[in-house]
Structure 1
Amino acid sequence: MCKNGSITLPKQIRAEAGLFPGNAVDISTSTDGTVTIKPTAPCCRFCGTVDKVVKADDVVICINCAKKILSKVDVNND
């Protein structure tokens, strides 16, 4: 923790938690001292947008990023 009370989360942890710069978060504490930080709204894991997102298995992705990924995959060759 810094002198001013801020905490830096490693990039990988932020990405896994769906936390992106500029997105709102909810922060809560429990009686045992556990702190929970989670996005207020689901955010695309790749670009951080909250617009037009869907959840595929455990990954939140926006339609635009899904289209970009699918364009890189040869869907005709299983």
Structure 2
Amino acid sequence: MDEVLEAAELVADSELEGVVVWLFRVIGILLALAGVGLWLFTQSGLLWLPAILIAVGVLLAVIPGVLLELLELFG
């Protein structure tokens, strides 16, 4: 866990903070759209894979920005 926090602090200190946050947001949106597409275009009901893709996509879209803001406030 310390390595993750050190990497996040390194990104927060560098000039690439906005780029990294938007990269994670784009990846998260793509994962969420892939999950919705799998869920809508399959024959069966709610599948585990689309639900996991949607959840991970939403987390990737939200958490990096919040994490970097918290690191700036408390770091």
TM-score, L = length of structure 1: 0.24
| Structure that is richer in strand per residue | 1
| Structure that is richer in helix per residue | 2
> Who wins on radius of gyration, i.e. which is larger?
1
TM-score, L = length of structure 2: 0.25
